[in-house]
Structure 1
Amino acid sequence: MTHVILGHCCKDASCVRVCPQNCIRPTPEDPDFGIVEHLYIDPATCIDCSACVQACPAGAIRADSELTDSQRLYARRTRDFFADLPGARSRVPRPLGLPQAFQRAGGPLRVAVVGGGAAAMYTVRELLQRSSSIRITVFEQHTEVGGLLRTAVSSDHRGIRNMIRLFDVPFSDDRVETRTNIRVGLEVSIAALRREFDVVILAFGASSPRAVGESSIPGAHQAITVLSAANSAARQGIAARLLRGPTALIVGGGNVALDVAAAIAKRHIATRAGEPITQVVVVARSPVQRPSFTFSAVHELAELDIDLSIAPDGAPPDTGSADPVQRLFAELAGNPRPRTRSRKMAVSLWFGNEVTSLRAVGGRVQLKTAGQRTFIADSVIYATGFTSAPMTGVPFTDDGVVSNRRGRVVSADTGAPIAGLYVVGWAKRGARGGVGDNRRCAVETVERIVADQKNIGESDSGQGPTSAYGMGHAGGQR
């Protein structure tokens, strides 16, 4: 028996680190790690030790004998992956190196972490492994830590939502203090944190929805707000009465857009009168050949009892493609499922549509695209992504991320590092990547902090030259 990794793999690579056979691919060091949707376990070398099952924070690994019919395709994808992989791959277990630690001669390093989401959690966890004397203070604007893991991940993705338990150990450590209901940038400034702490790490994510169309449209909602309400309602066994009905537009073509469509299909979201939505149209900017969502997201939607159709602008799906998403699209386009009495909702995915106008017309919502296509519905839900909100004392680039080099915040004007200021997560790399991607992101930023603190220590002790980052302490020059 072997084990199989499912589509909701978080890719934080905990499984890779515990596998005694080194049979999980790709590893974080492999060039295609950032490309694949999920990791794969080599069935030829897996010894069924179950170490990966215990290590996986998302509960995404199952024995092949326990797979459901809809999950068996991941076993097929695994076989295809290793069949295409070059034969000369190492099967020798790799030794696990310990992270570079540091101690500070001038007393405990005082670190402020701005934000309490997944990026903050991985950063705190990484810092605690590096120093026994460190003191960390987390500033969170809400009443609880967890960020989007707590509020916005669909209730259907229980494995990902259960990753909230990863916060328990690091945030209960006596070296960590959590201050909730504090909005950094309003109630306390970045300048004040830099005066009080040796290091300030920005982990506030990307929480400002990207604007589309008119600023105020009746019947308009943000996807994150809709999912949060749906999650709350689902726990009570009811539907969130949010939308004008019976038709809804979802603007955006990523996983969040499909999560909203699935929540509506499962009756977690209804009209204000409590009636079901009967038609959902997803309007995506991406072309049908390169959709922004993952295979697992569209596969889960296609498994629901709905009429799902693909309506691309331009070229149709590639019927000869090896891409499983394209094969699914071609199947839906060429062999549409017959309508049944149980299917009371239709979902259509429209690709290649750049939105040029979105406004209220006669009590409904009208969307127009660059290709002269017009969509009209009763409600609209924005799933168009996020950007980071501006904050005094923090330099931003034109694309809405904190100006940085591998986690060191740098001046947007000169490119010079700003002493003692770092960034991690979506604020660092943009609103892309899943929960597990924050682990590697946090390691990279913390390694910059360790290197800078080492340079500061060598400079203070006269053992080395003054570093460009050697002013990153509370009383240093700004």
Structure 2
Amino acid sequence: MRSACFRCWPRCDDLLQRIMVRSSPWPERRRQLAMTTDQPYVAVVGSGPAGFYATQQIIKKAPGCRVDLFEQLPVPFGLVRFGVAPDHPEVKNVTTTFCQTASSPAVRLLADVTVGRHVTVSELRRAYDAVVLAYGADDDRPLGIPGEQLTNVASARHLVGWYNGLPGCRSPVDLAAEHVVIVGMGNVALDVLRLLTASVDALAGTDITESALAALAESRVRHVTVVGRRGPLQAAFTIKELREQIHLVGTSAIWDGYPFHQLEPLLPDLPRPRRRLTELMVKSARSPRAAERRTWTLKFLRSPLEALGTDAVDQLRVGVNAMDGDHVVGTNQTELIPCQMLLRSIGYKGRQIDPALPFDAARGVIPNTDGRVHGAPGLYVTGWIGTGPVGVILNTMSSSFAVGKLVADDLAAGKQCDRVMHPDELVQIIRERGARPVGFPDWLRLDQAEEERGRRVGKPREKVVSVDEMRRIIWG
């Protein structure tokens, strides 16, 4: 019989072995067969920057290794697609490299698969030699103050997701507020400030969603106050974001009387990035621009105490702080800031997607040492779910490259999960549970459709914001 079907015999033999692996009642026998029939396989959970950068290093440093890239949405790229501001297209250019990685024969995208629902982390560890968790931080940190439940108190994360087309953030944002307060002084806060104060014409040629663009065109926002509990020397935003805001056409800064002149003697001793940022604030405070259509304020040394209002927020009560060296100390003074919308932007927080995972609920991270998850051989973590929401894409690239190399080194040293089945078997189980994994060629159909929709209205793309519509386009 073997001579009669000589050409297909290796394929049949491999299929027979896989059937034996799945049906064998002896775990050790199944493990041996799984290891002898396949090269190393790694599962990466999350297809944002952390997931893609880790994948790049794994296939580079571990030749012959295969990587399955899991993503809960039908679309890849994570925060590059849903977190980067629409008017920062240069940052989104990293997707060109990500597409090259996803097109590699060593990489398989499995999008529209939710780890924790369609498959558990424990199952992944039984089907892969290593599992890298890179699914980011999807929740936002609450302010924890009275009145936070009032109408028009929301997260900056929701606003960012709304104008970037994140399916879970489709509910409209009420922009009837004339005065908006943003609590937090990171880059996300300044992105939201810029989007709320920019002209619609400046955004029309970006990939902002048409629904968000239409809402911003009707916006009544006139002034935005950005509140930070620390001083200018501790502000977390970078000079690029502040410079963009200062030079934004149609807006002007109203500096709140902070004694910036007191910072000038400190400038020579500051690290270069902090010195340049502080010099820009000092210069802008010295030469304020004429009042424009929209204004904004950076209010330092203020801590939110209470959101006030009957049904909707109309004021924020803040405590006045002082700096004691590098430490913030409260005073007995308080102030009221008018606002009809209050946005919290004090950081994102990771979630536990599987009860079997170790998890630090207070920090919203998976405990790890240099990327190795505590007490779980073959399990790794990278990106914000391992470090918390710190740094920009460049920081994520560096840390994820290091974790990818670590995975490759551990595989070479024989430090891996105790794999007992082939990944294809697990994918079949996932299908039986109702998921229909979206591969990279499948996603390209949606990519092309979005670009075509964008061309019709003079934009790089018009994002599809409904998961059901995404699926209809992908599967025809």
Normalising by the residue count of structure 1, what TM-score does the alignment of the two structures yield?
0.67
Q: Choose which of 228, 232, 235 in structure 2 pairs with 1:284.
A: 228
Larger mean Cα displacement after TM superposition, 206-215 or 240-249: 240-249
Q: How does 1:60-71 map to 2 (within 5 A)?
A: none
In the alignment, what sits opposite 2:121? 190
Contact 1:267/1:276 (<8 A) preserved: no
Cα offset for 1:407? 0.6
CA deviations on 1:191-215 (whole Å, 9 max, x unpaired) are 1111221111000111111112455
**Is 1:145 the equivalent of 2:108?**
no
In the alignment, what sits opposite 1:325? 277
Structure 1 CA distance for aligned equivalents of residues 398 and 140 of structure 2: 25
Change (3 A) 1:232 1:145: closer
Cα offset for 1:231? 4.5
**Is 1:344 the equivalent of 2:307?**
no
In the alignment, what sits opposite 1:363? 312
Change (3 A) 1:330 1:106: same
Change (3 A) 1:242 1:330: same
- Which amino acid is the alignment partner of residue 430 of structure 1? G
- Which amino acid is the alignment partner of residue 50 of structure 2? A
Contact 1:317/1:330 (<8 A) preserved: no
**Is 1:474 the equivalent of 2:419?**
yes
Change (3 A) 1:155 1:259: same
Cα offset for 1:351? 1.1
Q: Choose which of 131, 134, 154 in structure 1 pairs with 2:62.
A: 131
Contact 2:151/2:311 (<8 A) preserved: no
Change (3 A) 1:275 1:243: closer
Structure 2 CA distance for aligned equivalents of residues 147 and 365 of structure 1: 34
Larger mean Cα displacement after TM superposition, 429-438 or 207-216: 207-216
Contact 2:62/2:408 (<8 A) preserved: no
**Is 1:400 the equivalent of 2:352?**
no
CA deviations on 1:439-476 (whole Å, 9 max, x unpaired) are 221222123223322332xxxxxxxxxxxxx4622249
In the alignment, what sits opposite 2:156? 223
**Is 1:254 the equivalent of 2:254?**
no
- Which amino acid is the alignment partner of residue 158 of structure 2? T
Larger mean Cα displacement after TM superposition, 149-158 or 259-268: 259-268
Structure 2 CA distance for aligned equivalents of residues 313 and 357 of structure 1: 23
Change (3 A) 1:447 1:232: closer
Change (3 A) 1:441 1:272: closer
In the alignment, what sits opposite 1:94? none
In the alignment, what sits opposite 2:335? 373
- Which amino acid is the alignment partner of residue 402 of structure 1? I
Q: Choose which of 107, 111, 114 in structure 1 pairs with 2:45.
A: 114
Change (3 A) 1:350 1:271: farther
Number of aligned residue pairs: give it: 345
Q: By percentage of residues, which structure has more helix?
A: 2
Structure 2 CA distance for aligned equivalents of residues 316 and 352 of structure 1: 16
- Which amino acid is the alignment partner of residue 277 of structure 1? V
Contact 1:309/1:332 (<8 A) preserved: no
Structure 2 CA distance for aligned equivalents of residues 262 and 172 of structure 1: 35
Contact 1:219/1:244 (<8 A) preserved: no
Listed as ranges, the gaps of 5+ residues in structure 2 are 1-34, 167-171, 201-212, 269-274, 321-333, 422-476
Structure 1 CA distance for aligned equivalents of residues 368 and 173 of structure 2: 42
Contact 1:312/1:352 (<8 A) preserved: no
Structure 2 CA distance for aligned equivalents of residues 336 and 314 of structure 1: 14
Q: How does 1:168-207 map to 2 (within 5 A)?
A: 168-207=99-138
Cα offset for 1:263? 0.8
Change (3 A) 1:446 1:297: same
Cα offset for 1:285? 2.2
Structure 1 CA distance for aligned equivalents of residues 55 and 410 of structure 2: 17
**Is 1:159 the equivalent of 2:121?**
no
Structure 1 CA distance for aligned equivalents of residues 214 and 310 of structure 2: 22
In the alignment, what sits opposite 1:432? 390
Change (3 A) 1:245 1:309: same
In the alignment, what sits opposite 2:199? 267
Contact 1:286/1:292 (<8 A) preserved: no
- Which amino acid is the alignment partner of residue 188 of structure 2? V
Contact 1:309/1:336 (<8 A) preserved: yes
Structure 2 CA distance for aligned equivalents of residues 309 and 105 of structure 1: 68
Structure 1 CA distance for aligned equivalents of residues 295 and 93 of structure 2: 31
SS in 2 for 1:419: coil
CA deviations on 1:257-280 (whole Å, 9 max, x unpaired) are 111111111135686891431111
Structure 2 CA distance for aligned equivalents of residues 270 and 263 of structure 1: 13
Structure 1 CA distance for aligned equivalents of residues 259 and 40 of structure 2: 57
Contact 1:222/1:381 (<8 A) preserved: yes
SS in 1 for 2:404: helix
Structure 2 CA distance for aligned equivalents of residues 349 and 422 of structure 1: 39
SS in 2 for 1:318: helix
Q: In terms of Rg, which structure is larger?
A: 2
Q: How does 1:41-80 map to 2 (within 5 A)?
A: none
- Which amino acid is the alignment partner of residue 388 of structure 1? G
Listed as ranges, the gaps of 5+ residues in structure 1 are 1-103, 234-239, 411-416, 457-469
Q: C-alpha root-mean-square deviation of aligned residues, in Å?
A: 2.6
SS in 2 for 1:436: helix
Q: Choose which of 344, 347, 366 in structure 2 pairs with 1:382.
A: 344
Cα offset for 1:378? 0.9
Structure 1 CA distance for aligned equivalents of residues 418 and 90 of structure 2: 40
Change (3 A) 1:471 1:441: closer
CA deviations on 1:373-430 (whole Å, 9 max, x unpaired) are 22221112222210111232222234222111111001xxxxxx41110011111221
Structure 2 CA distance for aligned equivalents of residues 270 and 284 of structure 1: 30
Structure 2 CA distance for aligned equivalents of residues 301 and 190 of structure 1: 43
Cα offset for 1:368? 2.2
Contact 2:222/2:294 (<8 A) preserved: yes
SS in 2 for 1:354: strand
Change (3 A) 1:314 1:192: farther
Change (3 A) 1:146 1:407: same
Contact 2:183/2:226 (<8 A) preserved: yes
**Is 1:245 the equivalent of 2:191?**
no
